[in-house]
Amino acid sequence: MRTQVAIIGAGPAGLLLAHLLRRAGVESVVLETRSQEYVAARIRAGILEQSSVDLLTAAGLGDRLHAEGHPHRGIHLQWPGERHHLDFVDLTGRSVWVYGQTEVQKDLVDANTATVVYEVSDVALHDLTGSPHVTYTSADGTPGRVDAAAIAGCDGSFGPSRASVPGQTWERTYPYSWLGILADVAPSTDELIYAWHPDGFALHSMRSPTVSRLYLQVPNGTDAGSWSDQRVWDELATRLGHGQDGWKLTPGPITEKSVLPMRSFVQTPMRHGRLFLAGDAAHIVPPTGAKGLNLAIADVALLAPALTALLRHNDPTLADRYSDTASRRVWRCTHFSWWMTTMLHIGEDPFDAQLQLSQLRWVTSSEAGAAGLAENYAGLPIGF
């Protein structure tokens, strides 16, 4: 078949790109290895920056987000004996929203604007500087081919698109992981708590008034099954400061438990010929700054108008700038995610721990320090 843009991957990057292109009058076909149910059920990030909310709203995807999402003014940062609230609205005029990636994905599927072929295999990209096309095998075993004027690689960190772009990669692995749980219990906090603790970092997040999402720093290679529910709640209570100034952590039934590795990865350029990378296909951030989903949305917010100008008006200006413009934001978020991660996680060296505490005291007591964190967390404007 022939279309204007072949999109590889039906995660938030791929589906949002298809949606924005359709609204701009550009046709696309999305190829996805997994089933629609699998993609819809994946538990991922949960925080949207103001600019992501603005973009989704302008794209006609904001109804449920505004009805069911929760705007937060900021976050709590804490270490033993102290908890401080950083108010992003006061500091930067911008807020963040609690609205799960699962919900964003559902809104995109419900919008029904993308033509998606699910459960394909053997996806391969061809002739990226000539007549671009993608070959695949469909679920029933028949071979398929999509010819397109451009290809968008939105296939996450394990897809084939990344390897088709010659360029440079940068990588940092971290000596710890997160054990994440989802629990059917009301959050014990109004806004997220990021906790530094000698036993390791902990984060109290949430998905709704009845569902909490919490994380514990654990050593790499940890088996989630080796942590009983009781042990998880005990450790969360210790690290999040149960009892401190009367604050209580309420435990509840755990519905999901998994271990997430932490990695920073950047590949540039984000373009080769007629192939453009967006989202996790081009970059991975550790989750501490809540940037992964927002970066994918920001990439696509730049890529959709660039492809529209290229394919509808034969104007390559934005497409030629795409990689440089997107990479600037990618590096800002890569730095911020690394900075939040290294400020909050416990390593081997007691010298580092003192530096972390000093940094935390500065960020929570100096308006300049707080504003820097707030500006990055609440998000810089797309294309800054």
Q: Interior CA angle at 232 toward 226 and 238, to 5°?
A: 135
Q: Taking CB under 6 A as the rule, does residue 187 contact ligand APR?
A: no
Residue nearest to ligand PHB (CB): 46
- What are the distances in angstroms from CA 381 to CA 200, 305, 306? 33, 16, 17
Out of 76, 291, 322, 345, pick the active-site residue: 291
For residues 298 and 49, give the distance between their C-alpha atoms in angstroms, rounded to a whole number: 10
Binds ligand APR by CB under 6 A, chosen from 49, 103, 155, 235: 155
72 given a catalytic annotation = yes
Beta-carbon count within 10 A of 221 CB: 8
Name the residue nearer to ligand APR (CB basis): 8 or 203: 8
174 given a catalytic annotation = no
Q: Taking CB under 6 A as the rule, does residue 13 contact ligand APR?
A: yes
Q: Taking CB under 6 A as the rule, does residue 372 contact ligand APR?
A: no
For residues 38 and 69, give the distance between their C-alpha atoms in angstroms, rounded to a whole number: 23
38 given a catalytic annotation = no
Out of 215, 287, 322, 345, pick the active-site residue: 287
Residues that bind ligand PHB (CB under 6 A): 45-47, 192, 205, 213, 287-288, 290
Q: Taking CB under 6 A as the rule, does residue 267 contact ligand APR?
A: no
194 given a catalytic annotation = yes
Q: What tokens appear for 286 in the block?
A: 């550790």
Q: Taking CB under 6 A as the rule, does residue 263 contact ligand APR?
A: no
Site residue total, ligand APR (CB under 6 A)? 28
For residue 161, give the 3-state DSSP assignment. coil
For residues 160 and 170, give the distance between their C-alpha atoms in angstroms, rounded to a whole number: 18
CB of 321 to ligand PHB, least distance (A): 30
Q: Taking CB under 6 A as the rule, does residue 340 contact ligand APR?
A: no
Q: Interior CA angle at 112 toward 315 and 121, to 5°?
A: 80
Closest by alpha carbon to 180, among 257, 288, 99, 285? 257
- What are the distances in angstroms from CA 160 to CA 96, 127, 284, 327? 33, 14, 15, 20
CB of 144 to ligand PHB, least distance (A): 35
Binds ligand APR by CB under 6 A, chosen from 3, 51, 101, 264: 101
Out of 194, 204, 272, 286, pick the active-site residue: 194
Name the residue nearer to ligand APR (CB basis): 53 or 370: 53
290 binds, among ligand APR, ligand PHB, none (CB under 5 to 8 A by kind): ligand PHB
Q: Which residues are part of the catalytic machinery?
A: 72, 194, 287, 291, 377
Positions touching ligand APR (CB under 6 A) are 8-14, 31-34, 39, 44-45, 101, 123, 154-156, 158-160, 279-281, 292-293, 296
